[in-house]
Structure 1
Amino acid sequence: MTKSWRLNGLLTIWLTAWLTGAVGAQSPAKPSDAAPRSPTETVQTFYRLLRERQFAEAFQLHVCGPAVEKLTPQQMGELEPEFLKLSGGIPETLTASGETVTGDDATVFVVVPSGVAANGRPQMVTAPVGLIRSEGRWLIGDRETQALAQAHGGSFFKLSEEGVFIKMAENEDAMARLLVKLLEVEQVFARNNQGRYGTLQELVMRRGQFRDDVAKLLEIVEGGEPLGHVIEIVVTPDRRDFAIYAVPKRHNYDGRYSFFADRDGVRYRNYGGARIEKDTPGNKILN
């Protein structure tokens, strides 16, 4: 699995991955009052607002903005110590070494301290900050985090701290690996049954044909709802082909991605919890 599947649920880790930039930016203006900021200007302004403890304004420049906007005063007060920890660690002076823009994605490169060298001076490293363009504005973060913040609103940070998103990512990672294994199981089943593939129920019923580790795997999927997902295997009338479908039981809680698997591999995409087909636009192929 690639690192893009990993989704950390701790608030500080969610944010510090995107909290690198440079100070000395212009005074912030509302999006409707000024021309759109460049990616570098966005990072600069976000940083300065954090240092000034203007957290609500800062997160207008972050994909977590929809979640911050929905916070009650009490919730904001509970989170303020975490925001203060983040802003307290931001140096007064940072250097931006450049930016790259590809369509609606951008990366700003900044030079930040990382530990202390033997001579007592800070060791400097270059760190990337990812941004996306949304409704004509650059925002720090990624689209998946933005979708979760929009879906959960003021509950986003609480769910993050409770580990819901960590568990969701773990479910997705395990489901992808499970589907790869089920593809192998189908091939073994077909070899043992005159080239005919089986439904999930048939694979489970005949698990005695398989190695012990595969039999245990089939016990896990026996109910059809493992790892927070609902699985169904559909075979053609002549049983010479098959497709595996998996969707999250609760979209954006148990998982984001819907899966489709056949002899050509596994495909996935965030489809609002609905089933995808092999040719659904926007599908990604699992590597």
Structure 2
Amino acid sequence: MGHKFLESNFLIFLAIFSAFMIDGCAAGAANTPPPATAAKSSNAVSTGATIKIETNSPADTVRVFYKNLREKRFREAIFLTNLRPAIEGLTETELKEFAVDFEAVAKHVPAEIEINGEIVSGDIATVTARLPDEDLEKSEIQEVRLRRENGIWVILTVDETAEKLIKQEGKNYFYALRIETHHNEARTMLDRISKAQMVYAAQHGGTFAEIPALIEKNLLPSDVQSSESTGYLYAVTLTDNRTKYYSTATPALYGKSGKLSFLVVLNQKSSPILTSKDNNGKPMKN
């Protein structure tokens, strides 16, 4: 199961950290004392922790990762994970293309991360910390897995299969993952539009509405009018004296924010039907 905090946000990152911490489910116990095999150092760090954190230990790596993430030092943060090969080849200009995605996650990182457990077994470690849950409103104890490589602890953000793919794809991995995530988000938003139309029609004699009216009725979020969060442009076209409609989702930047164009039409039973295809960045037509 992926790390809940970041998993709920990509593309937000949400998407870049699609399965952030391997087996990052809620831990059953807190305040686990570090075992005798934990890294030792004369320099201890105690910020936000309920255990003693030794410099360069697994717990310290987790602390520094979230500190870098919160302070928007995204390259430095990702370098501490096994996603590193996906960012090493990115120029600063290319990295800025993901700034919106990264910042959407960074703003939810607490000023201090409560780290309350560290278990080390050879070159494998598990750190427990209190992090935001899936809805970002509450926090819970979650696990972070790490692996020691050449004396340095690395946060395991993806499994071995994905790790091999990342090494093969390099920086292209982030671009492909972002597009895949935006495709999923476009489908989700179109589903929300369809549900909003059903509610609106039930309240207005079977007639449908354009997007601004659905937002005004609090049936849709305002960000449906912007491509910033999902990479897509959405449109609703009313037909037959407002008794029918079709909706579209089109990539804001074809090849970068998405490749597929989406179309939702109503069938004979007025049920929404979704189709999609690579339309070279152009809207699909009813």
Q: TM-score range by the shorter chain?
A: 0.3 to 0.5
Bigger fraction of residues in helix: 1
User: If you compute each CA radius of gyration, which structure gives the higher value, 1 or 2?
Assistant: 1
When the two structures are superposed, what TM-score results if normalisation uses the length of structure 1?
Answer: 0.43
When the two structures are superposed, what TM-score results if normalisation uses the length of structure 2?
Answer: 0.43
